[in-house]
Structure formats: C-alpha cells, structure tokens
Homo-oligomer: A and B are copies of this chain.
Amino acid sequence: MEGFSFSTEVQVRFAETDAQGIAHHAAFLVWCEVARVAWLDAYAGGYTSIRERGIEALTTGVSLTYHRAAYFHDRLTVWTRCVDVRGARFRYEYRIENDGEVVASGHTDHATVDAASRRPLRVPEWLADAISAAV
C-alpha cells in the first residue's frame, strides 16, 4: 500500500457482523486498535510497556470512511502508520483492504496522559523517536 509499510491481518468474526449481513461499522474501530497495538509491538516495545511507565494513550478522535462492506470470514489487511507527533498528541492513519480493494480508510487521534492524574503528558522522547524511526 502506497505510503504504508506496516500491516496487520484480521478476520471478520461472526460476532462482528450485524443483521445487514455485513461487518458492523463499530468493529472497524476495534480493528484499528488491534493494528495500533501490533504497530506498537513492532516499533515501540508494545503498548503494555508504555502503560507500565505510567502513560495512557487516550483516543481523542476517530474519522473513518467506509468504501465497501466487509463480510463474515473476510481476511482484511489493516495498513497503519503513525504520523504527526506534536506535544502530547499523535495520529494514526489506516487503510483497510480486502483482497487488494480498499474497504475503509481514515485516522484516529490520540493524546498521552499521565495514568494517575489523567493530565496531558508530552509524548516521551523514546516513543517519539520510535515513531520517527518507524516513519
């Protein structure tokens, strides 16, 4: 996928379908999260290690466009990249593909906070560096 170098696979679960016979649109947010977790495993020591340092990454915004329906059992490729680290904020972009066709695309916005106080916390340098290296 142009501009993306990291991807994760998910397979549409039956529980993720709805009475329209397609994957429910909220499931895509869960898959984006699965992809972020895999990305953090690959590039930044894992989300768990971030949490263990007393940092939480909150989701502050989501924006997804659905181009095609996805169906039960479909194997989807979730292309992911982290962009735009600024202060306590960063964004992930996604393109979700099914057999080479774009099913959905968009981004999620996040902010790092101190786990205890929930106050904004600048993205730590080691994490910002990991993100830059991944890009």
Contact assessment for B62 and A63 in the assembled complex, using a CB-CB cutoff below 8 Å: yes
Number of copies: 4
Pick from B19, B33, B46, B61: contact of A66, CB below 8 A: B61
Q: Which chain A residues numbered 23 to 72 have a C-beta less than 8 Å away from chain B?
A: 24-27, 29-30, 33-34, 37, 46-48, 56, 58-66, 69, 71-72
Q: Does A21 contact B (CB under 8 A)?
A: yes
Which of the segments A9-17, A79-87, A89-97 contacts the partner chain?
A9-17
Residues of B within 8 Å of A119, CB to CB, are none
Q: CB within 8 Å of B: which residues of A? A: 13-15, 17-22, 24-27, 29-30, 33-34, 37, 46-48, 56, 58-66, 69, 71-73, 118
